[in-house]
Amino acid sequence: MAAVSGFWRRLLVAFSDAAPSLRTIARTADGGRTRRLLLAFSDASPAFRPAATRLDHPEGYDQARAADRPEPLSHCADVVVDTDTRERQPLVLCLDTSSSMAGGPIQALNTALREWTEELHSDSFLSSTVEVAVVTFGGQGVTVWRGPRPLPPRTSASPFIRADLFEPPHLSAAGVTPMTEALKLSVRLVAARKAEHRETGVPYYRPSVLLVTDGMPTDSQGHPSNNWRELVPMLADQQQARRLRLYAIGMGGITNAGYEVLEALAPDFNARLPGFPFRELFQMISASAGVVQRDAGDDVHAEIFAHFKSAWEAS
């Protein structure tokens, strides 16, 4: 496994149990009450049950319509049913694999996914709580992956795999950029997974969606499309209601217009990065995921992201 760079080592330590700043609450007289209050108003608490919306029902998930579902998950011979009931943190990687990512960028993405997977496996907390699903958008339209294998368009099998069992797909780049459809499906996957956890009594932390692209959303013919605007109010509601946290990252030669799309989709967590620093991006996601067990509030996640963003703006 590749060594963690100096900046990211300092950042990961800053938000670990070793950090005095995160032990301060525990030393204060009302530390227990403060932690309980934070937990009570987070997705980490089973007591937190936001009002259901149409996105919180499995029938809102295009790939699992009730009318034509195949065998249930437990009957799929190649799927291991996870009976562990510890808190879970769903994470969707929504990745651009259009033609503009061909060559060096897609190679860098595949390498970073492999290295990040090794790091997840070696982290006792992340490996047992984070569960990963991958959604790609490019030459074959929108594809949902369960680990290294693409799922059929209509299947009841969940794409989420616990991090210690996750193996990344090997991605290739071609075609257009159906970003809107991919992001919409990512939100539905999150809603369906939360519904599954509520039904089985498994508590969960607030899910995250990581959107990464180097271009503008297009239609099926490759023409620029404004259909992403329909997502803005829905995503605003989802984020304000603490149903998910969306990161929108523009890389490479993304245009000003392309980055304005990302700013509109994720006002709080967006960045425009030079080059294709996928490995550092995945380390940021791991750092953010790693603090949820310490009752970290939104301000801590914002600070982690601000460190990440400022480091690249200064480079």
| Among the listed residues 275, 285, 278, the one whose alpha carbon sits nearest the alpha carbon of residue 305 | 285
Q: Report which of residues 160 and 315 the model is more confident about.
A: 160
**Residue 85 confidence (pLDDT):** 62
CA distance 74 to 201: 17
Is the per-residue pLDDT at 59 higher than 90?
Answer: no
Would you state the torsion angle of the CA atoms of residues 285, 4, 306, 261, taken in this order, to the nearest 10 degrees? -50
pLDDT at residue 73, as a whole number: 34
Residue with tokens 């703006």: 313
- Per-residue pLDDT, 293: 65
Of all helices (H) and strands (E), which one includes residue 107? helix 104-122
Domain over 91-313 is classified CATH 3.40.50.410: yes
Cβ neighbours of residue 75 under 8 Å, at least 6 residues apart?
Answer: none
Question: For residue 138, what is the DSSP state?
Answer: E
CA atoms within 13 A on the CB side of 96: 28
Note the pLDDT tens digit of each residue in 201-222: 999 999 999 999 999 999 989 9
Q: What mean pLDDT is reported for the chain?
A: 79
Q: What is the pTM of this model?
A: 0.76
- Per-residue model confidence as pLDDT tens digits over 60-72: 333 333 333 333 3
103: alpha, beta or left? (left if phi > 0; alpha if psi -120 to 50): left
Q: Are 228 and 265 in contact (CB under 8 A)?
A: yes
- Domain coordinates in residue numbering, the chain: 91-313
Whether 233 contacts 267, CB under 8 Å: no
**pLDDT band at residue 167 under the 50/70/90 scheme:** very high
Residues 93-114: b if buried by 16+ CB within 10 A, e if exposed: bbbbbbbbbbeebbebbbebbe
Q: What is the pLDDT, as a whole number, of residue 83? A: 53
